[in-house]
Structure 1
């Protein structure tokens, strides 16, 4: 679907937004099914490409026609890439373009799709249900703020947005998530104590300009620590990280296998929006100004030299990443402009959320490394009628790990099948 770049109409231009509709092939009659929009985590990642009816999709297809949206700038939705963004013009023009790729624009895209797709004469009266995972849950809260009239019900997994009443809560978010990341590091080393004596960081410290990977990225002590993003907050992540570290050396040098794996884990070349907008998704009228800086507890070289465990980081994005990663280097100036920009529109309407009438159910993960539990509870207190399933049984990836169970429970909660107690 062709949609405006700027839904307010102040900036001209259009982009394409792609969505995919799934219907279970074994259903004889799907005319009575409602519609469910899935909002992917991120920011900056396209919807999954399903190859079979499994997990939450299998369960959801019993009740819904499923809409998988490639959020603007991802997948087939006029993607922002390291090649395409510089073609937008100067760094200032690139930064201006990036301002239209946050949750508010995603929600307005979704409303255009809903009006064009969901029958007005159906049982839902043209409305649909939405399911948001992680950043997709942030988008759900924005949807409730901007266009609740389009919603039947809202399901959120690991994605209650923090600090919705703050001008920019990035600093608060990362101070708190650093603590959770530290806890996950300690758990990792408790499980794999043989990884504490970190020879890798000492080797990298001997190369001031970094060790180049096949893709031209620099493995440095600080970029090495980013491996925690893909591992520490997910089920089986400890094992994945340990097995990667096992392959680190070929003699006294970093192995080709390790460097190739490092490249594959760092998806900045295919999904740069995560790095470009990650802090700005928390801003409403204030600049983030690169709030994420290493604390002394994350000084990799100092820790390695002292024989202490090296701390891996989590979802944090750092300005030096636009130096260490080849695909991000051409985008550095635009990223700096975005980080210093304070002119961000509101993403949430607290008053409207406090008057909410749309049923909302969440799977809230107590030990979530990416979404701070306490900040999430502050937001939940503003959403009238929200029902939470608070659990430490799952980490941030619960929807992938136990999608059938989680989806069915949330649907029962939001529809009253599980009674209030």
Structure 2
């Protein structure tokens, strides 16, 4: 059965692997050679490789349905043919790591190369794959989790002809005029504070433990301690643990267990107290910058784009149709100074307050304190100053959307602000929303079957309109 619905022989721009099996599933890997820059002639653009994994469950075949999944689905839930798509620059899709990017010479070359790794080109890759993978090049259903949801809304904006349905989980981006990086972080910081308060309410014993660690770091030589792979752990670096620790269902516990082993035992009386190697290694493993610097380099750029001018002005002067958008200029770092010291770790210790962790934020000093990022410092500054980012969304197209869309919106999502998500939802014609506080941002991982059942039910008429 599987061979009868398998792909044709491989082509120069598509290498299809052979089917293999794991319990209850049949899988096949695909590697596509795509242009780095879709805006120029294919022969003139450098090429990269994009990886996708085709998964078929039970007796289903590829002719029944094809679901494109942005990022892996952390669930055994699978009822059709799924294509797990690893975005360019990650996983097996020409991964951009400190070692691979060392092939690029200057900071300018790195910044120029990385500008092609945002959602606009991720969608171009998806369309490249769709016409080669889907039977008769038909449309497919897209599931976008988190940033995958942002990419899905870009897909709706610029290539809706490739979409049958769209499912969004914790991934409705800010799209309106004025939805700058500054606006996003002004909205997100209060939710980060709320998550900190919830964490310390669950683990009140950690208030003092975290303060002790901050005090130790601040009083150490140079204001911090060396990390196992190089770099330096400072009080502000410690706060970045909130990136993963505060936003998912199991993050609180993982963070707490990590701080349980923050200190080496004093086995010789009178020895100086010191932070354990276990804790320092766990800190580095948690952040993962050594294997995925792309997040730190490009995160703020996902909130940067040019805006469309008033159509009348465009008609009067086509040269004014586009104008330069805002650069991020280290938005999270600047907006953090507006909090009246709430995120100042050393000040919190002095004032006897809980030390607040930060959230999904990138700061310029990270490129000095973390060894894996240090070689990208100059490139990071160039990207933060870049103004001419291309558009990621088209509000006019979204206003006239015809593709069925269902979205799970998590009320206390730390990464995707609820208010901004609602503003975007009001711009997407026909979108159906499931607003819930039963799950955090990790709802798809924690309850994939229930979440997908609910969203598909909304699209397929099994859930009432009201």
Is the pair's TM-score, using the shorter chain for normalization, greater than 0.5? Answer: yes
2:293 is the counterpart of 1:272? yes
The alignment partner of 1:23 has SS state of strand
The alignment partner of 1:375 has SS state of helix
Which residue does 1:44 correspond to in 2? Answer: none
The alignment partner of 1:297 has SS state of coil
Q: Describe how 1:59-74 pairs up with structure 2 within 5 A.
A: 59=77, 61-62=78-79, 64-74=80-90
Gaps of 5+ in 2: 1-31, 267-272, 306-324
Which residue does 2:119 correspond to in 1? Answer: 103
> How far apart, in 2, do the equivalents of 1:203 and 1:31 lie?
58
The alignment partner of 2:434 has SS state of strand
> How far apart, in 1, do the equivalents of 2:351 and 2:326 lie?
40
> How far apart, in 2, do the equivalents of 1:36 and 1:236 lie?
28
Q: Describe how 1:12-411 pairs up with structure 2 within 5 A.
A: 12-24=45-57, 26-27=58-59, 29-40=60-71, 47=72, 55=75, 58-59=76-77, 61-62=78-79, 64-120=80-136, 126-162=138-174, 164-166=175-177, 169-197=180-208, 198-207=211-220, 208-250=222-264, 251=266, 252-284=273-305, 285-293=325-333, 294-295=336-337, 296-411=341-456
Instruction: Map Cα deviations across residues 175-232 of structure 1 (whole Å, 9 max, x no partner).
Output: 1111001001111111111111210000000122521121113110000001111111
> How far apart, in 2, do the equivalents of 1:396 and 1:361 lie?
16
> How far apart, in 1, do the equivalents of 2:285 and 2:62 lie?
42
Deviation of 1:31 after TM superposition, in Å, equals: 4.6
Q: Which moved more, 1:410-419 or 1:395-404?
A: 410-419
The alignment partner of 1:166 has SS state of coil
The alignment partner of 1:268 has SS state of coil
**Contact 2:217–2:223, Cα closer than 8 Å, also in 1:** no
Deviation of 1:337 after TM superposition, in Å, equals: 0.2
> How far apart, in 2, do the equivalents of 1:235 and 1:90 lie?
41
Deviation of 1:12 after TM superposition, in Å, equals: 2.2
The number of residue pairs the alignment matches comes to 399
TM-score (norm 1): 0.92
> How far apart, in 1, do the equivalents of 2:451 and 2:415 lie?
19
The alignment partner of 2:361 has SS state of coil
> How far apart, in 2, do the equivalents of 1:321 and 1:167 lie?
27
Instruction: Map Cα deviations across residues 46-88 of structure 1 (whole Å, 9 max, x no partner).
Output: x47xxxxx72xx33x21x2111111000111111111222312
The alignment partner of 1:196 has SS state of helix
**Contact 1:167–1:283, Cα closer than 8 Å, also in 2:** no
TM-score (norm 2): 0.84
Deviation of 1:168 after TM superposition, in Å, equals: 5.7
**Contact 2:56–2:62, Cα closer than 8 Å, also in 1:** no
Deviation of 1:414 after TM superposition, in Å, equals: 1.5
Q: Which moved more, 1:100-109 or 1:247-256?
A: 247-256
The alignment partner of 1:264 has SS state of helix
**Contact 2:70–2:142, Cα closer than 8 Å, also in 1:** yes
The alignment partner of 2:331 has SS state of coil
Deviation of 1:9 after TM superposition, in Å, equals: 1.0
CA 1:31–1:116: 2 relative to 1, 3 Å: closer
> How far apart, in 2, do the equivalents of 1:176 and 1:286 lie?
18
> How far apart, in 1, do the equivalents of 2:464 and 2:202 lie?
39
> How far apart, in 1, do the equivalents of 2:173 and 2:133 lie?
28
**Contact 1:158–1:368, Cα closer than 8 Å, also in 2:** yes
Q: What's the RMSD between the two structures over aligned residues?
A: 1.4
Instruction: Map Cα deviations across residues 12-36 of structure 1 (whole Å, 9 max, x no partner).
Output: 2111111110111x32x51542100
> How far apart, in 2, do the equivalents of 1:166 and 1:271 lie?
31
Gaps of 5+ in 1: 41-46, 49-53
